[in-house]
Amino acid sequence: MSPLFKSKDKSSRELSSFIVKTFGVKPKNIRLYSDAVRHKSIARDTDKEDNERLEFLGDAVLDMIVAEQLYELYPHKTEGELTQLKARIVNRKTLGTVGIEMGLERVVKFIDGKYVNKNTICGNAFEAVIGAIYVDRGFERAKSVTRKILTQYLNYDKIVQNDPDYKSQILVWSQKNKQPIHFEEILVEDLGHEKMYHFEIKCDGKTIGKGKGKSKKSAEQEASKNALKHSRSSAE
């Protein structure tokens, strides 16, 4: 039997097969990938780790890979334009769409329910799997896999023409006007089945935008939208 399939249980063998077919990677440590597809809704009832740590790592790896790719693809774009484009690619909605199209929903372990956002879960799992590949096979392997997948499922030129990303816009404004800003999480409401995040954007010690959402990124987006309104009204 191939070393790839020395896993003791059927679910591990099936997951190994999925990773090989979908990501083009032969897992060395299947436990990493099992963790990557285990949502916190199911992990909390077991003694096993959920995918949030790998998601954190995968987010950073993706950020670096996409930044490098955009730098190469768009040599004439400014720093602000590259920042805006990267933000439209490395976000939960876009990555969730990629994850769903890849079929991650079939292998992610989570408790389904009224408040479950499968796009978010698949986006998180996609980041976590990239994190697992990075730990298991190294940065260069993670880079080649990520580039191939994103090129296959995303049209970068089309993304740049889509609806604006408010967070990237406020970052561009900050750079252009030399006005440092920072995002601050001020409250996390526990609503039982979900959480509500509250964020503020501060500039020179003053709050210029507030926002809330069911994810940190959506709260940051709303805060960024309001900060943009504030910056435009202040300039008038």
Active site residues: 59, 127
What is the rounded distance in angstroms from the CA atom of residue 187 to the CA atom of residue 24?
41
Judge residue 52's burial from the number of C-beta atoms within 10 Å of its C-beta, 0-12 exposed, 13-18 middle, 19 or more buried.
middle
Question: Max CA-CA distance within the chain?
Answer: 71
- Tell me how crowded residue 65 is: count the other CB atoms within 10 A of its CB: 21
List the one residue out of 214, 15, 40 whose CA is nearest residue 110. Answer: 40
Half-sphere exposure of 4 (CA within 13 A, CB side): 14
| Sign of the torsion angle spanned by Cα atoms 219, 223, 228, 229 | positive
Q: Work out whether strand 195-203 and strand 181-190 pair parallel, antiparallel, or are unpaired.
A: antiparallel
List the one residue out of 76, 73, 75 whose CA is nearest residue 65. Answer: 73
| Sign of the torsion angle spanned by Cα atoms 18, 22, 26, 31 | negative
What is the rounded distance in angstroms from the CA atom of residue 105 to the CA atom of residue 148?
20
